[in-house]
Amino acid sequence: MGDNCHYAEIAFFGGSFTAIDRNYMISLLEAAKPYTDMFYGIRISTRPDCIDREFLDILKSYKVTAIELGAQSMCDSVLKANERGHTAEDVIKSSRLIKNYGFSLGLQMMTGLYRSTYNQDIYTAEQFISLKPDTVRIYPTVIMKDTELAKLYHSGEFVPYSLDASIDLCSKLIIMFEKSGIKIIRLGLHYSESLIKNSVCDNYHPAFKELCENKIFYNLFIDKTRLIDKSKPFSVYINQKSLSKFYGQKKCNIINFTNMGYQFKTYFDNTLSKYDLYIK
């Protein structure tokens, strides 16, 4: 990787790092130890109920720099229904402890969980913001074959969000975290053939984040042109880096706006934030 190492992290993901056998955890940190000075830091993910001062002392001694918690929801009823094994209070306590120790805090949430609602997902985001994490990851729930969630789905007890509903929700979450200065480092699941082959229900999209960003600009445009006379042409100003987001995937936004009868030209104003526009 050369000089790029200084911008990359060593990461232990795919499980709950502090919940595995302690000797095995330390052996992994020992394996990474000779390389820590070459990289930006070490990032781990773990459960909110598997953090205490003893663990944090160990992680600090091995130069771990960032800890992500698989919080998923801040509603105890949702956590219990999905058998997460931790509470919202666990998330709060662990988050504060992590920040007090000087680690970068990351929080992971899942939208559309069993027994969750739109308002509860918004509430989870609000609670995350109050904890002031450095980063968040947002994972819309995807049902996999031969799981308890799949059984609930097939029985009709669990009705997942449609793709459109998930896009509508997550487009709002993007703005909430953006306004709070919290970086979203992942939105949607990584594409894999296995995911496509083994998922149930048609609510996964490989370009999910792009669709959410398209929705942000669709909503902005509609809101800011409510009082515009459609018979008269006007100008739309956006940041140049936001052009593809404004146009939409396969120019879907532009096509929709044109079909609605709007007449406009697009111009650049790079003083605008990436999720903003104005009409002139």
What residue ranges do the domains of the chain occupy? 2-206, 223-279
Cα–Cα separations (whole angstroms), residue 10 to 37, 40, 63, 72, 139: 11, 8, 11, 23, 22
CA distance 46 to 51: 8
Sheet of 9-12, strands arranged across? 9-12, 41-46, 64-72, 104-111, 135-140, 183-187
CATH among 3.90.1150.10, 3.20.20.70, 1.10.3720.10, 3.40.1710.10 for 2-206: 3.20.20.70
Mean pLDDT of the chain: 95
Q: For residue 250, give the DSSP letter.
A: G
The arithmetic mean of pLDDT across residues 27-52, rounded, is: 96
pLDDT digits (tens, 9 = 90+) for 76-107: 999 999 999 999 999 999 999 999 999 999 99
The arithmetic mean of pLDDT across residues 167-182, rounded, is: 98
The whole-number pLDDT of residue 14 equals 83
Q: Which helix (H) or strand (E) holds 165?
A: helix 163-179
pLDDT digits (tens, 9 = 90+) for 45-71: 999 999 999 999 999 999 999 999 999
The arithmetic mean of pLDDT across residues 156-185, rounded, is: 97
The half-sphere exposure of 241 on its side-chain side, counting CA atoms within 13 A, is 7
Three-class HEC string of 31-71? HHHHHHHHCCEEEEEECCCCCCHHHHHHHHHCCEEEEEEEE
Helix, coil or strand: residue 19: helix
Residue 157 predicted with pLDDT over 60:
yes
The whole-number pLDDT of residue 4 equals 64
Residue located via tokens 């003083």? 271
Beta strands in the chain (DSSP E): 9-12, 41-46, 64-72, 104-111, 135-140, 143-144, 183-187, 199-200, 234-238, 264-268, 277-279
Q: Is the pTM of this model over 0.85?
A: yes
